[in-house]
Structure 1
Amino acid sequence: MKKIGFLSFGHWTPSPQSQTRSAGDTLLQSIDLAVAAEELGADGAYFRVHHFARQLASPFPLLAAVGARTSKIEIGTGVIDMRYENPLYMAEDAGAADLISKGRLQLGISRGSPEQVIDGWRYFGYEPEEGKTDADMGRRHAEVFLDVLRGQGFAKPNPRPMFPNPPGMLRLEPHSEGLRERIWWGAGSNATAIWAAQKGMNLQSSTLKDDETGEAFHIQQAKQIRAYREAWKEAGHDREPCVSVSRSIFALVDDRDRAYFGRGGKEEDSIGFIDEKTRAIFGKSYAAEPDVLIEELRKDEAIAEADTLLLTVPNQLGVEYNAHVIEAILKHVAPALGWR
C-alpha cells in the first residue's frame, strides 16, 4: 500500500487561457480540490510555498480552511522555506491549523530553494549570523521550530499577568500534541536527508535533487532514501519514518488528457543549475496510456522506496480537470501497481 496525494504550486495568471486568474482563485480552488480529492479517496492535499510569486505563499490560512472543510485527508506543505520564517510564530500558526484539522497536518519544511528575488528573506527581516550562510540560517530556524513543538515550557511567566498562568515555565499556545512527529524535511542532497533523519523528521524528496553520481534521477533518489533510512536507524528513533516523493504523472484516458499531455514533453531526466554552484538533476514526467504508464512506473526505484507519492497537478487547468487527473491514477494505475 502507498499513500497517494496531490501537490499544487498554486500558480495563477490573469491570462484568459488560465482557469486560475487571481490569488483568490488559487486559494478557493485549492480548498475545492482538497475536498474533491478526499471524496475520490486520495490520502493527501499538499501545497507548495513560494514568496514574491504569483503562487501560493503564506500557507496556514489555507491549511486551516482545508482542515475545516475536510475530515480525513492529510493536509501538508511541500515545502515552507524556513529562511523566511519566525519559528515561534510559525509554531503557533501550525498548532492552530493542526487543531482545526484534528491532527491531520503534515508539514513539509526546508532550507529553501532559489526564489523570485535576491535574498528575499532579508525583506522579511532575517540575516544569517556572521560566518554563516542563508542555508545555515534556514536549518537553525528549523531546529528552533522543532524544539518549541515539543511543548516544553521555556518562557519565564510575568508575576502579575493579565490572566492566571499554569505553574512553571510557559510554552507557546496553542500546542498540538503529536505535530512534532509530522514534520517533514525537503532534502535536496544525500547529506541533508541524513541530517533530517538525525533530527527525527520525515523525508520529502522532490522532482529534483543535487546530481551527486551522474546516475538516473530515480536511482539517485532511491539511494538518498536508503541513506536516510539507515541514518534514522542509527539515530535510534522509536518510530518508523515516512518518506514521500513527488512526480508529474498523467494517465491518458480521454481526449482532454491526450490534448494536454499526449504530445510528449519531458520524458527524460534533465540537468540544470539551481544556483551558481549546484548542479541538479530534474526527474522526468510520465504521460501515457494506463497500461504503458504502469510498466514505466514499475521501473522507478524511488517510488518503490517511498511510502507516499505526491502527484504534481496543473492547477491552472481548474478543479474539475485536476480531480480527473487524480482519479485516473487512483482508478487506472494504482491498483495494478499494488498501491491500492
Structure 2
Amino acid sequence: MKNIGFLSFGHWTPSPHSQTRSAADVLLQSIELAERAEELGVDGAYYRVHHYARQLASPFPLLAAVGAKTSKIEIGTGVIDMRYENPLYMVEDAGSADLISGGRLQLGLSRGSPEQVIDGWRHFGYQPGEGETPADMARRHAGVFLKMLEGEGFAQPNPRPMFPNPPGLLRLEPQSEGLRDRIWWGAGSDATARWAAQMGMNLQSSTLKDDETGEPFHIQQAKQIRAYREAWAEAGHARNPRVSVSRSIFPLVTDQDRSIVGRAGSDSDQFGWIDETRSVFGRGYAGEPDALIEQLKGDEAIAEADTLLVTVPNQLGVDYNAHLLESLMRHVAPGLGWR
C-alpha cells in the first residue's frame, strides 16, 4: 500500500487556452479538485508555494478552506519557503488550519527554490544574520517554528491583561496537538535529508535534487531516502518517519489523453546547473496503463517511499485532472500493489 496524493503548482494565465485565467479560478478550482480527489479515494491534496508569480502563494487560507470542505483527505504543502516566513505567526496560521481540518495537515517546508525576484525575502522584511546564508536563515526559521509547535510557554504575561491568563508563561495559540509530527522538509541533497531526520521532520523529495553521483535520478533519490532513514534511526526518534516523492505520471486511456498529455513523458533525466549547483531533474512518465506499470516498477525511489505525490496540470481544469487521478487510481495503482 502507498499513500497517493496530487501536487498542484496552481498556475494561472489569461490565455484563452487555460481553464485558470485568474487567481480566483486557481483557488476555487484547487478546493474543488481536493473534493473530487477525496471522492476518488486519493489520499492527499498538496499545493506548491511560489512568491511573485502567477501561482499559488499564501497557503493557509487555501488549506483552511480545503479542510472545511473535505473530511478525510490529507492537506499539505510542497513546499513553503521558510526564508519568507515569520515562524511565530506561522504557528498560529498552521494551528488554525489544522484544527479546521480535524488534524489532517501535512506541512512541507524548505529553504526554497530559484525565484522570480532577486533575494525576494528581503522585501518581506527578512535577511540572514551575520555569517548566515539564506539557506541558514530558512533552517533557523524552521527551527523556531518546530520549537513553538511543541507548545511550551515562553512569553511573560502582562500582570494586568485584558483577559485572564492561565498560570505560568504563555504560549502561542491556537495549538493543534500532533501537528509537530506532521511537518516535512523538502530536501534537495543527501545532507539536508539527514538534517531533516535529525530535526524529526518527515522527508519530501521532489523531481529535482543535487547531482551528487552522476547516477540516474531515481537511484540518487533512493540513496537519499536510505540516508535519511539511517539518520532518523541514529537520532533515536520514537515514531516512524514518512517519506514522499513527486512524479509526473499520465496514464493514457482515452484518445483525449493521447492528444493532450501523450508527449508529457520522457525517456531520460535532465542534468544541468541551478543556482551554481549541478542538478538532476527526473523524468516524467506517460503511457498506456500496462506499459506505465512496467516503467514505474523500475523506479527505485518510488519503491522506497511510502507516499507518492503526482503533479497535476492544473490549467487543464478540474474535470480533466480528476479524470487523470481516477485513471491512476483505477488502472495503474492496483497493478503496482499500491491499492
Distance in 1, Cα, partners of 2:262 & 2:19: 21
Distance in 2, Cα, partners of 1:217 & 1:142: 27
Partner of 1:231: 231
Partner of 1:214: 214
Distance in 2, Cα, partners of 1:267 & 1:85: 38
Partner of 1:266: 266
Distance in 2, Cα, partners of 1:313 & 1:46: 10
Give the structure-2-normalised TM-score. Answer: 0.99
Which letter maps to 2:323? H
The answer as to whether partners of 1:113 and 1:274 remain within 8 angstroms in 2 is no
Distance in 2, Cα, partners of 1:53 & 1:107: 21
Q: Deviations over 1:6-28 (max 9, x none)?
A: 00000000000000000000000
Distance in 2, Cα, partners of 1:299 & 1:264: 19
The answer as to whether partners of 1:269 and 1:282 remain within 8 angstroms in 2 is yes
Partner of 1:169: 169
The answer as to whether partners of 2:265 and 2:285 remain within 8 angstroms in 1 is no
Counterparts of 1:1-340 in structure 2 under 5 Å?
A: 1-263=1-263, 265-275=265-275, 277-340=276-339
TM-superposed CA distance for 1:189, in Å, is 0.1
Distance in 2, Cα, partners of 1:265 & 1:305: 22
Which letter maps to 1:124? F
Q: 1:303 to 1:265 in 2, by over 3 A?
A: closer
Structure 2 segments unaligned to the other structure (5+ residues): none
Q: Deviations over 1:242-262 (max 9, x none)?
A: 000000000000011100122
Q: Deviations over 1:86-129 (max 9, x none)?
A: 00000000000000000000000001111110000000000100
Which letter maps to 1:216? P
TM-superposed CA distance for 1:273, in Å, is 1.8
TM-superposed CA distance for 1:264, in Å, is 5.5
Which letter maps to 1:313? V
Which letter maps to 2:327? A
Distance in 1, Cα, partners of 2:147 & 2:114: 26
Q: Deviations over 1:174-207 (max 9, x none)?
A: 0000000000000000000000000000000000
TM-superposed CA distance for 1:268, in Å, is 1.3
SS of residue paired to 2:323: helix
SS of residue paired to 1:245: strand
Distance in 2, Cα, partners of 1:274 & 1:199: 26
After the TM superposition, which segments of 4 or more aligned residues of structure 1 sit over 2 Å from their partners? 263-267
Root mean square deviation, CA, Å: 0.6
Distance in 1, Cα, partners of 2:264 & 2:153: 56
SS of residue paired to 1:271: strand
Which letter maps to 1:304? A
Which letter maps to 2:143? E
Q: Deviations over 1:205-230 (max 9, x none)?
A: 00000000000000000000000000
TM-superposed CA distance for 1:265, in Å, is 4.9
Alignment length (residue pairs): 339
The answer as to whether partners of 1:63 and 1:97 remain within 8 angstroms in 2 is yes
Q: Deviations over 1:12-59 (max 9, x none)?
A: 000000000000000000000000000000000000000000000000
Q: Deviations over 1:140-178 (max 9, x none)?
A: 000000000001100000000000000000000000000
SS of residue paired to 2:117: coil
Distance in 1, Cα, partners of 2:318 & 2:329: 16
SS of residue paired to 2:124: coil
SS of residue paired to 2:34: helix
SS of residue paired to 1:51: coil
Q: 1:138 to 1:264 in 2, by over 3 A?
A: closer
